[in-house]
Amino acid sequence: MTWDPKEPWGKKSDPLEAALKQAKTQFTDLFPSGGLKNLLPSGGVRNILIAGVLILLVWQSVFIVAPDEEGVVKRFGVPVRAADPGPHFKIPFVETVLQPKVEKLFRVEVGFRTTQQGRQQMVPQEALMLTGDMNILGIEFIVQYKIKEARDFLFNVADIDETIGKAAEASMREVVGKSKIDEALTTGKAVIQADTMTLLQTILDQYQSGVQIAAVQLQDVDPPEAVAAAFKDVTNAKEDREKLINQAQGYRNDILPRAKGEAAELVNRAKGFAQARLNRAQGEANRFLATLKEYNQAKDVISKRIYIETMEEILPHMEKVIIDGKGGERVLPYLPLDRLSRPGSKPLVKPVPQSEVEEFRQESPPTIKSRAHSS
């Protein structure tokens, strides 16, 4: 800013305004006295021309930035400011505006190109790469990116797509060169994509390209056609191996819990049986001790009681003949006792009345003679 004493109130003059005034003066000097008024028609035509000039000036002064754009204002070819989405003003014929799509997702193909018919055509000089175990692979992938800084994107790199393509190819070659072929063909694709994306972003940030990498996606990873069949056989064998391992692991996971459950069931059952036997033995021991205690207090009564209970338990299951007193001496040898065991035979001895049984119990133990005959 310079100080202009001719300006009212000592106002500072802008170099741009001074340049515009000088250009206006020089433009006026090109015409004869009277300036443009002598050249313009009089009346309504002049008013129409003036209105047209005003509309042109307004049209050149206003610009609108869309929601998915960012405006970069240039003055004499040099970027001076950025404009957010919405309406803005600029100096007509002096400032111009570039409005790149900052929300759009751009795509760069590496290792192949898509033809107008929609087919993918391999580019060998970009796709063929050497792995860490000295094998050759044909790798086709795409890079998706967005604009992070519009000014850097527009002015720091001349051909951004070619730059990203070359940087992506170099990054992929470095990552694949540190990996084995099995990883690139099977389980290591996600790691390769992530490492390539990180390395590519680092390179583009060093270039100050104003680009943000959104994704690196492998499209096709294949060995060269000369050895494709052999690689396919190896891959199929590895897949079969993984399948068999998974099946064996599944069978193991199924049979082991079942065996452990059955073992636990047997152990619990044995423990329960042992506890039951122990409790039963303990109960019988306690019962025997209690009986022994009572027996020691009244041996005659307890002996007689045990004898009677034992006879009650044994005699109902036997074929027997009871003869009281000395009657056993008078039994004839030819008494057909064997008929007692035959089905349907009549009893040879009448049943003893209950009263006589009670009286018999109160006396000394009777003489019992029994004989069991098989049919």
pLDDT tens, position by position, 340-370: 555 555 554 455 555 654 555 555 444 444 4
Q: How confident is the model at residue 294 (pLDDT cuts 50, 70, 90)?
A: confident
pLDDT at 107 over 90: yes
Q: Structure pTM?
A: 0.50
Q: What is the pLDDT of residues 134-181, one digit of tens each?
A: 888 899 999 999 999 999 999 998 899 999 999 999 999 999 999 988
pLDDT at 355: 61
Contact yes or no for 31/38 (Cβ under 8 A): yes
The span from the first CA to the last CA of the chain, in angstroms, equals 145
Which helix (H) or strand (E) covers residue 25, if one does? helix 15-29
pLDDT of the residue at 15: 53
Question: Is the predicted pLDDT of residue 7 greater than 50, yes or no?
Answer: no
Mean pLDDT for the stretch of residues 275-288: 92
Region 238-259: mean pLDDT is 91
Predicted local confidence at residue 343, as pLDDT: 55
Domain covering 106-223 in this structure, CATH number: 3.30.479.30
Q: Which residue has the higher pLDDT, 17 or 149?
A: 149
d(CA 94, CA 96) in angstroms, rounded, equals 7
What are the structural domain ranges in the chain? Answer: 106-223, 226-271, 284-317, 318-375
pLDDT at residue 116, as a whole number = 85
| Mean residue pLDDT across the chain | 78
Cα–Cα distance for residue pair 204/104, rounded to 1 Å: 18
Q: Residue 258 burial (CB < 10 Å; 0-12/13-18/19+)? A: exposed
For the cut 80, the answer to whether the pLDDT of residue 57 exceeds it is no
Per-residue pLDDT reduced to its tens digit, 194-207: 999 999 999 999 99
Confidence of residue 18 (pLDDT cuts 50, 70, 90): low
pLDDT for the residue numbered 187? 84
Name the band, by pLDDT with cuts 50, 70 and 90, for residue 113. very high
